[in-house]
Amino acid sequence: MLKKCLVTLGLLLAAPALAQDGTEQALFGNDIYKAGATVRMSEPGRDDAFLAGQRVQLAAPVTGTAHMAGRWVDVDADLGGSLYAAGQRVRVSAPVAGDVALAGYTVSVDAAIAGDLRAFGSEVVVNGTVGESLIANGEIVELNAAVAGDAVISSRELTFGSGARIDGTLTLYEDVVGATVVPESVVGADRLTRIELKYKRVSGAFQHPAGLPKPSFGEQLSDMVYWVLVVWAIAALAALAAPVRMTDMADKIAARPLRLVGAGFVGLSVLTGGGVVVAVTMIGALLTPFFWLAAAALGAAGLFVGAYALGHWALSYVPNLPVPWIGRVAAAFLGALLAGLISLIPYLGWGALVVLTIAGAGGLVMRLRAVRRMAG
C-alpha cells in the first residue's frame, strides 16, 4: 500500500510536467524547482531540489534534500541531505549523506547511504553500504553490501551477495517461517528473528490484511450481550421519557412495516445524498458533514426505535403487565434481545438488523408533520 501511495503521489506530481515539451524552473532562495518531460538538474551550488517529469536526473551535487518524482529517476550526483524519490524505475548511483526513501517498480541503490534506507518496490537491489538501518519490501530483494544497523526485510525471494553483512539485527517476514536461507556470514542466528507474514501479498511484497481471525462463538455471544444491554438501556430510557410517541411509532411499524421501511430508506438516502449534492458548491460543502452526521444519528435512533417496536410487538401476545412502565422496560429488553439473537444468524442476521434499523428510522421520519401531510 505504501508503494502504491508513493508511486501515485509521484505520478500526480509529475503529471503537469508530462503535458509540456519544455522544462520550466523556478528559484526560491537557494532552492531549485524544475518540471518538464525531461528534467536534468545540473546547476551547482543548490541547497534543496524539487524535480518532477518523465525522465528526471540529478546531475549536480545538492547540499540539502532532493525530492524527485517521474517515470525514470536517476541520482547521479552527491547529496548532502536526504533523498525522497518515487517512479517506475529509481536508481541511486551517487552517495547520500542523509536518509533515503525510495518507491518504484524497480529500485536499485548502487552507492553508499550514510543514514537510513527505506526501499519499496517489486524488485529492490542494494549494492551500496547503509550507514544506519535498512527497511526493504519487495517481491525480489537482493542485498550485496553491508548494513551498519538493524534491518527489516519482507520479500517473496531474498538473496544475499558475497558482500552482504548486517551488523545489527535482522527481522525477516516470511510466508513460511524458515524458508529463507540466511548465511551466518550475513547475520548470526542469535541476531535473526523470523516472523510469519500475517498478510496476503499483493503485487509481490505489498500487503493488505488477510482478515482478522474469526471470533469464537463465546466471543460473539459476549459481544451480543453487551450490545443488547446498551440497546436495552437507551430504548428503555426513550420509552420512559416519551411513552406515547414510542408506542405510536411501534404500532405503526407493526401495522405497516413495508411502508415504514420505505420511509426510512428515503429519509436516510436524502440525508446521505444531500451531503454529496451540497458539496458541489463551495459554500454548501461546509454543510456536508452535518448532513452525514444527521444520517448517522437517524440510523442510530432508528435502531433503538426498531428494537423497541420489535419487543412491543412480541409483548402484544402476552397479557398486559400490571404497571405500564414495567411493560415499556420489558418491551425494550425483549426487542434488544431478539435483535441481538437475530444478528447471530449467519449471513442473514445483519441484513435483518439493517432492515429493522431502517424501519425504525421510517417511524421517526413519519413523525415529521410535513412528511405526514405528503403521505396523506
**pLDDT higher than 80, residue 368:** no
Higher pLDDT, 199 or 15: 199
**pLDDT higher than 60, residue 6:** no
Tell me, what's the pLDDT at 119?
Answer: 94
Higher pLDDT, 13 or 305: 305
* pLDDT > 70 in the chain, percent: 83
Tell me, what's the pLDDT at 84?
Answer: 94
- 2-6, long-range: CB < 8 A, 24+ apart: 2/103, 2/120, 2/137, 2/206, 3/103, 3/104, 3/120, 3/121, 3/137, 3/206, 4/206, 6/86, 6/101, 6/103, 6/120
pTM of the model: 0.52
Q: Which residue has the cell 430504548?
A: 235
Rounded to whole angstroms, how far apart are CA atoms 137 and 6? 14
Tell me, what's the pLDDT at 284?
Answer: 57
pLDDT band for position 206 (50/70/90)?
A: very low
CA-to-CA dists, residue 111 to 79, 86, 94, 143, 339, angstroms: 11, 17, 5, 13, 64
The mean pLDDT value for 64-72 works out to 90
